[in-house]
């Protein structure tokens, strides 16, 4: 089984709809991250969390919110989706003694 899973893997929605992307991990890591990836722009950090009670904004948090329901789960919500939120979204985790972030398989979101 994969250590970091994301659901859904693909989603097409319409402008104005509320969307939730979910991330779960079995690595026992305390740190979790949400990124979006756009062609030519690389990965950009949306939100990150160091534990259940610690949520922090990244460089592009406007239009997004997150929830850390448990150490293993970190959800990203788009309250009212807009077309420029069309992107590939990745969840990542990191343990306290690890230098490496481990990425989930990604969610491809299209907002029409």
Partner 1 sequence: GQNIDQPTEMTATEGAIVQINCTYQTSGFNGLFWYQQHAGEAPTFLSYNVLDGLEEKGRFSSFLSRSKGYSYLLLKELQMKDSASYLCAVRDRNDYKLSFGAGTTVTVRA
Residues of this chain that interact with partner 1 (CB under 8 A) are 40-45, 48, 56, 58, 90, 99-106
The nearest distance, CB 25 to partner 1, in angstroms, is: 13
Contact residues for 35 (Cβ-Cβ < 8 A; gap 6+): 43, 44, 45, 46, 58, 89, 90, 91, 92
The nearest distance, CB 80 to partner 1, in angstroms, is: 27
Buried b (16+ CB within 10 A) or exposed e, 47-64: bbbeebeebeebeeeeeb
The nearest distance, CB 99 to partner 1, in angstroms, is: 5
The nearest distance, CB 47 to partner 1, in angstroms, is: 11
* Closest to partner 1 by CB, 43 or 55: 43
> CA–CA separation, 22 vs 16, rounded Å?
19
Peptide bond into 8 cis (omega under 30): yes
* Closest to partner 1 by CB, 8 or 105: 105
* Closest to partner 1 by CB, 17 or 110: 110
* Closest to partner 1 by CB, 84 or 96: 96
Other Cβ atoms less than 10 A from the Cβ of 87: the count is 20
């Amino acid at each position: 089984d994969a250590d970091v899973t994301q659901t859904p893997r693909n989603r097409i929605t319409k402008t104005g709809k509320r969307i939730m992307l979910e991330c779960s991990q079995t690595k026992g890591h305390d740190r979790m991250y949400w990124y979006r990836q756009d062609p030519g722009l690389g990965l950009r950090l949306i939100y990150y969390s160091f534990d259940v009670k610690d949520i922090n904004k990244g460089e592009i948090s406007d239009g997004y919110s997150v929830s850390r329901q448990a150490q293993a789960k970190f959800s990203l919500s788009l309250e009212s989706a807009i077309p420029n939120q069309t992107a590939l979204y990745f969840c990542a985790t990191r343990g306290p003694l690890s230098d490496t972030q481990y990425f989930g398989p990604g969610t491809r979101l299209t907002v029409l």
